[in-house]
Amino acid sequence: MFAFSSTPELLFGLYLLYYFRIFERQIGSNKYSVFILFSVILSLLFEVLALVLLRDPTLGVLASGPFGLIFASFVPFYFDIPVISRFRIFGIHFSDKSFIYLVGLQLLLSSWKRSLVPGICGVLAGSLYHLNVFGIRRKKFPEMVASFFSWLFLSSSTSSSRTPSSGNVIGNVPSYAAREVQRNYPSSLHAPVPEPPESSVATLVSMGFDGNAARQALMRARNDINVATNILLESQAQ
């Protein structure tokens, strides 16, 4: 469940895993850790059940890789991430989310039945999470467990950040945002704050935050979108 069997699946899968980090910024590291564990375990159970029920000799071994987690993430992507822009190419309507769906479709059909079955199992797991089965969306891990999951799944990507403020977005405690603003922008209260770019506001809105709150957070963080995200997450936790 943690290693892809071919290079194309690896490339598409890693791209989607990196993109779906948007949900951690939306719901916080702790709840995202719950989502990861819930999706992986439940999709694995569905895969075992599918192999038992289908008994298809042509199916053989299912495609390896975190298909369950990836396709479970498509459920909140569909319901919780709004469409920001729409456009047409050769008369066909597309949106800014269309490319992600196309990458997911390519990964879903990469090994035909061997990848189709775990992909569907992942969608089922994501749907149960979205329906809040057993109140799963309100569950939280102890902080030590959440920090371990954040390090295990995302430390490699955060280590490539170029600045301290962007590298510390993942896995921060709620009080971090206020300290970060005070430390990095001690004179911000005495300097004029530029109007936040609409692209930054749209990015925060696409994560599920209110537009006015996103604009205020960007102004407070002097248009640092990573710090603004922490400010918004802190306000939700209070």
Structural domain boundaries in the chain: 7-153, 198-237
Assign 238 a pLDDT band (cuts: 50, 70, 90). Answer: low
Per-residue pLDDT tens digits for 157-199: 444 333 343 333 333 333 444 444 445 444 444 556 678 888 8
Partners of residue 88 on adjacent β-strands: 93
Q: At 183, is the secondary structure helix, strand, or coil?
A: helix
Alpha helices in 55-196 (DSSP H): 67-80, 98-108, 113-130, 143-158, 164-167, 176-184
pLDDT score of 153: 56
pLDDT score of 168: 39
pLDDT score of 85: 83
User: Architecture of domain 198-237 in CATH?
Assistant: Orthogonal Bundle (1.10)
90-99, 153-162, 167-176, 211-220, range with the lowest pLDDT: 167-176
Q: What CA–CA distance (Å, rounded) separates 238 from 192?
A: 28
Share of the chain above pLDDT 70, in %: 77
The backbone region for 100, taken as left when phi is positive above 0, alpha when psi lies in -120 to 50, beta otherwise, is alpha
Q: Which residue has the tokens 């800014």?
A: 96
**CB 218 within 8 Å of CB 212:** no
Prediction pTM value? 0.64
* Mean pLDDT (the chain, rounded): 79
pLDDT score of 146: 63
pLDDT score of 112: 86
